[in-house]
Structure 1
Amino acid sequence: MAMNSPHLPPPVRELVGRTRQFVREVVIEAEPAPGERLDPATRARLQAAAKEAGVFAPQVPKEYGGQGVPLEHWSPVLQEAGYSPIGPSALNCMAPDEGNMHMLHLIATEEQKRRYLHPLAAGEIRSCFGMTEPHPGAGSDPAALRTTATRSGGGWVVNGHKRFISGAVGAGFCIVMARTEAARGAPEGATMFLVEMTNPGIRVGEAIHTVDRYIDGGHPHLHLEDCFVPEEAVLGEVGLGFRHAQVRLGPARLTHCMRWLGLARRSLDIALDRAERRELFGAPLKSLGLAQNLLAESVIDIETSDAIITKTASLLTEDPKAGSALSSVAKVHCSEAVFRVVDRALQLCGGDGVSDGLPLAQYLNEVRPFRIYDGSNETHKWAIARRASARRKAAVDSGEPYRGEAAVCKGGA
């Protein structure tokens, strides 16, 4: 499997091994009971232990206290972290912080990095990303953005209502997406703002109770009411927020795939152990054809997911635009494949699978929302089909033969 690939650079291979050992020997025994959330004190203890073990923040550059793993090699490390649902929190590579760290590293000013990236990378604070809004505001369609920011008194006043803002409870700051008007040479569009959660103009609203439990800070509403921020709170350039957000969105979709693929591997291991020990109709479960089919399909789902993640990560480093497009394919495939793996494992474990005696029912709750998070799969499929049609049209326009129905019928067959 790719997690132990000999093609990885030796330092990354060693980090994969250390992460595997740390998660299985330290993190797993600290997991909360199914349905419960990770205690902040336990999170802090595990993060301190991860720093001591040299596995903390694998995706963060070394100058900010991380392990400095390049994006194309994140997957084997994050899969090992995701083998436990609390592993990414322990290693500080959990959403939404991981995506925010990546974006801050690439587009923030040096002062913004000092103020926000350094403490975030060190695990001293958490963060959130304020994009999604109540209907008819932005959700799967970012063009529906309704939160506004207007210039005032040497800064900006932000007004809007956000919802499903993952990680907002207890966060130190929020990266808020707001619509801005054309002014001073800046285009009309959206702009990202760094808003500290102590700002009197921002408040956490009603909690949204979801089936998943392991994203720190929940998914509550967020209200911005005459929220003033200074000019230096602008992240990136005014009017280019959607363009800058692509720096975050492609890799963030992919790292969700990496982490949850690790949980799929854990689920398959549970099922394999069950199939080894359980006997039905006088034979081990693993020898029954129906069980073998379920196990084989799960291996296929894991390997194909691993392959598309690896390809997409490589492409994101070579051609970010193409990599971002392929990340939609990876997101759809992996979110559905991971769910199937966990569901099959639960089926193989029978009544125990749906009980608190095993963690599989909670794993199913954790991975099911991924088909909605980071854009619904249906929205991604719409975009995937549009891009495929556009590519084919461009090829035909450049001289490739048309192979549609009319061309087939022309031969008179």
Structure 2
Amino acid sequence: MFKQMLRNYDKSLIISVLSLCMIGLVMVYSSSYYTAMVRYGESSSYFFTRQLLFFGVSLVVFLLALLAPYKVYKKLMKIMLLFSLFLLTAVLLFGRTANNAQSWISFGSVGFQPAEFVKLGLIIYLAAIYSKKQSYLSDFVRGVLPTLVVIVTIFCLVAIQPDLGTAMLIVGTSGVMIICSGIRLKHLILLFLLAMASCTILGIFLSEEQLSRFTAAYDPFSDPQGSGYHLINSYIAIAHGGIIGQGLGGSTQKLGFLPEAHTDFISAIIAEEFGFFGIGIVISLLAYIVFRGFFIAIRCKDTFGSLLVIGICGMIGIQSIVNLGAATGLLPITGVPLPFISYGGSSLLLLMMAMGIVINISSFVNMERKKPDMIQKNSSDRSLKLVKNQNKRRAVSRLP
């Protein structure tokens, strides 16, 4: 079984994921060495060293998730959901505040963001529940409403940190899974109307700082030294890069002009140093992972596996759009990192584990598709062997 899985892994996905991680390591160093020197003296590789350590740990987790049968997560989904709720409650009670959000749990010098891992826990929960409820999914009260309660609860726990970007990402990913779960069209329309009404109500309770992000996205020059400062410098970086870029290390915006150059705005630094072609390669790799994932989901005969892949790849796709949209002024700045590229251990660990699950599912899909061919081949081999034995017995019977 293990050897069969090794032969059936989706090598193109593995190469795409590792390629993005390598690009991320290079760009984290390139975009952060100035900030590291300013903050930590002579240690220009501070962020790179930590990201390299995060990548090493994430690679181990990736391999473990790649080898573990994905169906085991279905049995653990209740434990994972309860643990996710526990982590979100713990971060509100004992969490560390960073960038005006109490979203970290620290153990000495090591910290992590529970909301990152909650995203995967919720995806596994929704995939397990919707695969289980296929026979009565048309019943809104029994099939859909209980999961909505869970989604809204997790959304509220993340939003009050406040981390509205991650909270909206959770809702968006859940929405993709609900659409693909097979619920009735009239229920989808009802959920869409409820979502619009909720967004309207939510807008009333947004803080002045959160509202300023919308102004900064669509009219940054109204406050160039305040709320629009990040986006204006992102524009400058992208424009400076042009078609072919300034070359690795050639960015000027990372030299204290563009804040968060190694996290939220790392895509702008890629565009400045490698131009349209460089950022195009990154977007192409991310798009390939997303579309390849949906192709695997379509081929998967197991509803749980199919929804799990859809949730994971939908999360990566939405997160990429939100990050790139913020860097180009198409969407408000939310602090959502660029998958596999931005600095951050929690995000990288989550994404590598999630992609290990996707690749594991793809290997099972490939093995299932090859079974009929193997059965036919074995049947043909047995028939050929039987004919040869019959011919051999006839030849022996003719001997004097």
TM-score (norm 2): 0.26
Name which one, 1 or 2, has greater alpha-carbon Rg.
2
Structure of greater relative contact order (alpha carbons < 8 Å, 6+ residues apart): 2
Q: Which structure carries more helix by proportion?
A: 2
